[in-house]
Amino acid sequence: MFGLEPEFDAGLRARIGHLGLGPRFVLTGFRTDIPELMAACDVLCHTSRVAEPFGMVIVEGMAQGRPVIATEGGGPSEIIEDGVEGRLVPPGSPEHLARAMGELGRDPSLRRRMGDAGRAKARDAFSSSLMAERLLSYLEELR
């Protein structure tokens, strides 16, 4: 986590090793090639334990055509329609997260449908030009 939480990092690595999951995980550290990494994924999971105010990562994943599994509350609940662009799960519920991951992992056509819906929503509702237009309109109203 940006080098600021070495205890968290060490604990996470130890737990992955203890569970024998090492071959299934790649902990990359800081990266600058996020769009390429998202494009290589089948599903994007955004599992914050606290409500996100917006969720830019979610919109970026949707723009890549990836279904998104995110925790309910805040921005994710406003961005994702559960079952349309992805899945919303309760925060702190690994059971719900695992169920959503399994569902999408087993069904490529569902991933494709959700990914296509997410890409369309990102384009139509969250494009940078549209967001800039909305911001300018809001600022004009404040005058």
pLDDT digits (tens, 9 = 90+) for 57-97: 999 999 999 999 999 999 999 999 999 999 999 999 999 99
Residue 47: pLDDT over 70 = yes
Together in a domain, 57 and 113: yes
Together in a domain, 82 and 49? yes
State the total domains in the chain. 2
**117 and 53 both lie in a single domain:** yes
What's the pTM value of the predicted model, to 2 decimals? 0.81
Q: CATH no. for residue 77?
A: 3.40.50.2000
- Same-domain pairing of 15 and 63: no
pLDDT-derived band at 1, boundaries 50, 70, 90 = very low
> Are 76 and 134 within one domain?
yes
Range of the domain at 12: 1-30
**Do 78 and 116 sit in the same domain of this protein?**
yes
Residue 2 has what pLDDT? Answer: 55
Q: Assess whether 15 and 73 both reside in one domain.
A: no
Rounded to whole angstroms, the Cα distance separating 48 from 122 reads 20
Say whether both 18 and 64 belong to one domain.
no
Strand partners, 82: 86
Q: Work out the average pLDDT over 10-31.
A: 89
